[in-house]
């Protein structure tokens, strides 16, 4: 990690034809207590800045200089596009460019060049059309860091939601929640809330899988057969776990005011609530990695690229959470 008192975050600008480069350029409007380094093609940023009518001084990244950029400046770690880019028109020829910036950022975090990474939005279809199998940031970074198990958590002001399973068809969810997988997810969540967010004794609310948390076995037995034994075991170790609780009543102030995170059993159980509460000002956080990684909660918004209408709020939130984690 950085030895200077200024932390350093690497920001990947994502799909070059999307709003990622626009959002990165908007960072030059503010000052930060941390050095932000944007991985991108400088020519792309220069061209997009002219389109957006932004006067931004692009400075080439110097690893020996830890000073944060001044207002009006953007520090850039240069990578080269394979082909010139037109806003709103993604080209598979630049798919490898996107992966190269992710690899650069991950390796930089692993070797201590950066204290954490913040990822801009990518276009999975474009990368796959380039002939590179790609399911998402999370899986790619797990492979890059040789991490066997990671946990997806989204956060906004006043709410963190982690997932026991992620992108699975609903019919496969119950079979995917095994005692081993559930225990592994809870251990990662508890550890990272402590180590990356500085919460000494995190309280986690655990959603039941079934309606009414199974209603004593009348609406499903997963709570009784899988979840309760795991929760009891981890409580014996001192973890502060509440549940399994009915998901339809868990998300209310009586429960949430003292909780540090909610663990949902599947994607659409927990994330609709979080996105309703904070869409546009939420952040995606990958737990379990040997590095800090946060991300925006939106896509590439190809129709907004180069228009000046994109909002940097989610990127700013992702930077804030990354900074919290590297200080944690």
Do residues 206 and 231 touch, judged by C-beta distance below 8 A? yes
Which residues are documented as binding site?
Answer: 137-138, 167, 212, 267, 275, 284, 293
C-beta of residue 321 within 8 angstroms of C-beta of residue 153: no
DSSP code of residue 68: P
Q: Provide CB contacts within 8 A for 242, sequence distance 6+.
A: 203, 204, 205, 206, 255, 259
- Please give the Cα distance from 37 to 60 (Å, whole number): 9
From the number of C-beta atoms within 10 Å of its C-beta (0-12, 13-18, 19+), residue 216 rates as exposed
Task: Specify binding-site residues for substrate.
Answer: 137-138, 275, 284, 293
Determine the Cα–Cα distance for residues 225 and 75; give it in Å rounded to an integer: 53
By CB atoms closer than 10 A (0-12, 13-18, 19+), residue 148 is exposed
Binding site for a divalent metal cation, by residue number, is: 167, 212, 267
3-state helix, strand and coil shares in percent for the chain, rounded to the nearest 5: 40, 20, 40
Determine the Cα–Cα distance for residues 167 and 262; give it in Å rounded to an integer: 18
| Cα 29 from Cα 31, distance rounded (Å) | 7
The Cβ-side half-sphere exposure at 208, using a 13 Å CA radius, reads: 24
Question: Token digits for 119?
Answer: 């990822």
Name 58's bridge partners. Answer: 74
Specify which residues 36 forms β-bridges with.
9
């Amino acid at each position: 990690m950085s030895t200077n008192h200024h932390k350093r975050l690497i920001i990947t600008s994502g799909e070059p034809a999307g709003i990622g480069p626009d959002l990165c350029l908007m960072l030059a409007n503010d000052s930060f207590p941390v050095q932000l380094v944007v991985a991108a093609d400088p020519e792309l940023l220069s061209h997009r800045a002219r389109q957006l009518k932004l006067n931004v001084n692009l400075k080439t990244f110097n690893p020996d200089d830890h000073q944060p950029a001044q207002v009006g400046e953007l520090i850039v770690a240069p990578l080269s596009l394979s082909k010139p880019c037109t806003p709103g028109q993604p080209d598979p020829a630049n798919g490898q460019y996107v992966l190269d910036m992710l690899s650069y950022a991950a390796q930089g975090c692993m070797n201590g060049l950066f204290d954490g990474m913040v990822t801009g939005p990518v276009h999975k279809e474009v990368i796959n059309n380039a002939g590179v199998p790609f399911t998402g940031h999370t899986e790619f970074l797990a492979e890059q860091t040789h991490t066997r198990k990671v946990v997806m958590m989204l956060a906004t002001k006043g709410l963190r939601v982690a997932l026991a399973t992620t992108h699975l068809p609903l019919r496969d969810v119950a079979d995917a929640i095994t005692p081993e997988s559930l225990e592994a997810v809870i251990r990662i969540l508890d550890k990272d809330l402590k180590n990356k967010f500085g919460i000494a004794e995190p309280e986690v609310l655990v959603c039941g899988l079934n309606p009414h948390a199974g209603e004593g076995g009348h609406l499903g037995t997963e709570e009784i057969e899988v979840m309760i034994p795991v929760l009891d075991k981890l409580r014996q170790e001192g973890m502060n776990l509440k549940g399994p609780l009915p998901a339809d009543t868990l998300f209310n102030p009586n429960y949430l005011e003292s909780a540090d995170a909610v663990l949902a059993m599947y994607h659409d159980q927990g994330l609709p609530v979080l996105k309703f509460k904070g869409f546009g000002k939420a952040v995606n956080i990958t737990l379990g990695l040997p590095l800090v990684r946060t991300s925006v909660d939106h896509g590439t918004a190809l129709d907004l690229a180069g228009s000046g209408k994109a909002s940097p709020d989610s990127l700013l939130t992702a930077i804030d959470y990354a900074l919290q984690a590297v200080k944690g």
